[in-house]
Amino acid sequence: MSYETYTLPHPVLGPLTGRLVENDSVVHFRSIPYATIPARFCPSQSLSTIPETFDHRPHRQFTEYGFACPGRPHDPSDLPGELPRQYDEFKCLTLTISAIKSQLDIVSSGSLEQLNHLQKLPVLVYLHGGSFTEGAGHISSMHETIRLASFSITDSSTPTILVSIGYRLGAFAGLASQDLLDEAIENGDEDIFNQGLFDQRKALLWIKKFIGGFGGDEDRITVFGESAGSISIALHLLADEPLFSRCAMQSGNIATFGRTLKWEEVNGIYDKLLTSVGGETGGSKEERLEVLRNIPQERLWKEFISIGGAVMEAYYGNEGTFFKKLEGVVPVHSNHVELTAKREWIDGVIVGDDFWEGYIFKDGLVHAKHNKFVEMFKTVFGVEIGTKILESYDIEPDEEVWTDQVNLRLRW
């Protein structure tokens, strides 16, 4: 398939070639690497240049999609317009940019001094969902941001640059254990556990650093995402350093990240995974980690699923470094709003739900006991607030959850 290309002389990164799309109004830079992964389970290393060799594509050519992180088995190729995906755990840390061509033309013709006076465009950054176990928003045709960028030109008074991020998933992102902790300390690593969240943070910092060369405003970045993407945003809101200025959280917050895992639980998951692939819990940590690092990525995923690996469950322990205790407390649902309000770098937050976000849970809701929902709601939000919310939606304890509420809300 033929297509026109556009080469941007980025003032810092150098020449970058993308696709001209949407009647040549948008330039699509596909799968630009923002970090590398030295070894499985290890912290990613941020990039400040375009590496000579990263994947199969020619150097500085970003006209084709790269790789996604392996995730829960899912083939999207039967969806209209969706392309087959390629998976590689070491080449998945990329981001895709839908830039405005007219703005790039100005960037291309101007000097660095002129760029400082350029009327920069706002930036929207998309974090895909998928329970932290699947998803590939940065290489997915279904989630591509081209049309949003085009819409911002034709139907909005504010042309906007769109960016979508890829990050590690499942066992590649969230495995925690004493072995990994000891190795990280020996290596002097600052990023310990929750590597998928650290990947996202590095992508956001890359965007703040380099989006100006695409004509974007690093001080007007809005992050949006649904489900796991929204949960991630809730966690990044607690960062001490500015990662963005505004955000829109869709169907996910810190409460939906699942229960807090204990240290013995994460080590138990690690031991189960090790034995499931033929390893032994005895011996040295180097031997145990070698076993887990040498098995193919597809098998690691299958074994992780078979042992009931954690899905949307967080490890907040002090052994890790992402969930730092803030003012002596662990960030949870009950204190998240208070902690977020103290982050002066945040200009605005939108919280809402995607209409069909919960549709995948419908089969489980069929078997829900009608009183359990009300009891759970009051437990999570407290009796006073929970009762007010239930009354606002006319949900009574004696109603059948499925027939009287869920089915009605879905308009079946």
Residue 380: the pLDDT is 78
pLDDT above 50: residue 109: yes
**Residue spans of alpha helices (H) in 143-212:** 146-154, 170-174, 178-187, 195-210
Which neighbouring-strand residues pair with 94?
Answer: 33
Sheet holding 216-226, edge to edge: 5-10, 14-21, 26-33, 94-100, 161-165, 121-127, 216-226, 246-250, 348-352
Query: Do 295 and 182 have their domain in common?
Result: no
Q: Are 188 and 57 part of one and the same domain?
A: yes
* 320-351 tens-digit pLDDT: 888 776 666 777 777 888 888 888 899 999 99
Question: What six digits make up the tokens of 166?
Answer: 């890829």
Range of the structural domain that residue 400 is part of: 361-412
Same-domain status, 10 and 137: yes
Rounded CA separation 32/274 (Å)? 34
* Residue 324 maps to a domain: no
Please indicate, yes or no, if residue 335 is contained in any of the structural domains.
no
Query: What digits encode the pLDDT tens for the residues 287-308?
Result: 999 999 999 999 998 899 888 7
pLDDT level of residue 405 (50, 70, 90 thresholds): very low
Residue 348 lies in a domain: no
Q: Write down the mean pLDDT value for the chain.
A: 85
Residues 191 and 76 in one domain: yes
- Are β-strands 35-36 and 45-46 bridged in parallel, bridged antiparallel, or unpaired? antiparallel
Rounded to an integer, the average pLDDT of 235-243 is 90
pTM, whole model, 2 decimals? 0.84
The percentage of residues in the chain with a pLDDT greater than 90, rounded to a whole number, is 54
Please tell me the predicted confidence (pLDDT) of residue 408: 41
At residue 36, φ and ψ (nearest 5 deg) are: -120, 160
Identify whether 298 is part of a domain: yes
Q: How many domains does the chain have?
A: 3
Are residues 268 and 222 part of one domain?
A: no
Residues 13 and 142 in one domain: yes
Task: Write the single-letter amino acid at 211.
Answer: I
Q: Is 243 exposed, middle or buried (0-12, 13-18, 19+ CB in 10 A)?
A: buried
The verdict on 253 and 267 lying in the same domain is: no
Give 10's strand partners. Answer: 14
Is residue 242 located within the same domain as residue 382?
no
Whether 161 and 278 map to the same domain: the answer is: no
In-domain check, residue 40: yes
312 is a domain residue: no
Distance separating alpha carbons of residues 133 and 196, to the nearest angstrom:
10
If asked whether residues 188 and 80 sit together in one domain, one would say yes
- For position 2, what pLDDT does the model report? 80
Is the residue at 101 inside a domain?
Answer: yes
Same domain for 252 and 288: no
How many angstroms separate the first and last alpha carbons of the chain? 41
